[in-house]
Amino acid sequence: MVPGARLIVLGKQGAGKGTQCMRLSHRYVVPHISTGDMLRAAVKSRTPLGLQARRYLDAGDLIPDEVVLAMVAARLDQDDTRTRGFVLDGFPRTVAQADGFDELLKPAVIDLVLNLVVPTGLVLERLVSRRVCEDCGAIYSTSAPPKLNWSCDVCGGEVVQREDDTEEAIKNRLDLYDSSTAPLVTRYAALGKLVEVWGVGSPDEVTNSLTAVIDAYQHGGEFFPPTPTQARPPAGRRELRELPLGAGEQS
């Protein structure tokens, strides 16, 4: 068992980050820190942060860096992340957040950054059909709904379409990803921390690819620098050529 890990998972909205981070968190017994889930919880319980964040979330805009950094700083101050590490989902999302995060983490450093690569056409399809448990954040889709009446299989909560999964907000989030978050891929690659993982396939296939990468760089509780890679569809996955938009795109 890994004594702890500090992982970041990057990837466009709809690349499957949430599901995969939840799985990695269980497998490596590290806290799953999702800034999107934290912000949605704050909105739901109408905290001062939630009241401030709501309009950004509804529009698919990014919350100001200093607000997100303060929220993450408070979370990193808790004992579980100090002892076990974390898997970060949806953070950092801008270069300023990555800079602030480096400072917060000192003297510790990130072990590994996994970039989940999925073609834009597929991401759009997934976002439009995505459904989420309001209570625990478990992710479903119109083609893979919960077993009973849109009640979550995990906790029984109501499974709904996220309010920011509208066409306009989705487009805005994808544009923001390209302008604000994609530069982080270059940043972590330059630091020798980045591994790209092909995110198309069944959730189990993608989890296996991710854990194979993590296990390959982790020995006896230590992480070693990865060899730079670029995610490619596995040989024989010809159906990807038929995707409508941006198929085969590597960002």
Residue numbers at the binding site for ligand ADP (CB under 6 A): 13, 18, 35-36, 39, 56-57, 60-63, 68, 90-91, 93, 97, 164, 173
Choosing from 6, 12, 17, 84, the catalytic residue is 17
Whether 232 is catalytic: no
| Active-site annotation holder among 27, 54, 75, 162 | 162
Nearer to ligand ADP, 5 or 184 (CB): 184
Q: Which of 126, 130, 131, 193 is catalytic?
A: 130
C-beta separation of 241 from 116 below 8 A: no
Smallest gap from residue 3 Cβ to ligand ADP (A): 27
In the complex with ligand ADP, the residue whose CB is nearer, 57 or 133, is: 57
Tokens of residue 175, six digits? 């544009």
Token pair listed for 250: 């590597």
Nearest to ligand ADP of 18, 146 (CB atom)? 18
Nearest to ligand ADP of 49, 63 (CB atom): 63
**Contact 49/32 with Cβ under 8 angstroms?**
no
130 is catalytic: yes
Min CB(203)–ligand ADP separation in Å = 15
For the question of residue 193 being annotated catalytic, the response is no
Of 93, 126, 131, 193, which is the active-site residue?
A: 93
Q: What is the dihedral of CA 218, 68, 94, 166, to 10 degrees?
A: 110
In whole angstroms, the minimum distance from the beta carbon of 175 to ligand ADP comes to 11
Nearer to ligand ADP, 90 or 226 (CB): 90
Q: Shortest approach of ligand ADP to residue 128 CB, angstroms?
A: 12
How far is it, in rounded angstroms, from Cα 21 to Cα 199?
A: 13
Least distance to ligand ADP from the beta carbon of 103, Å? 16
Shortest-Cβ-distance residue relative to ligand ADP? 36
Residues taking part in catalysis? 17, 93, 130, 162, 173
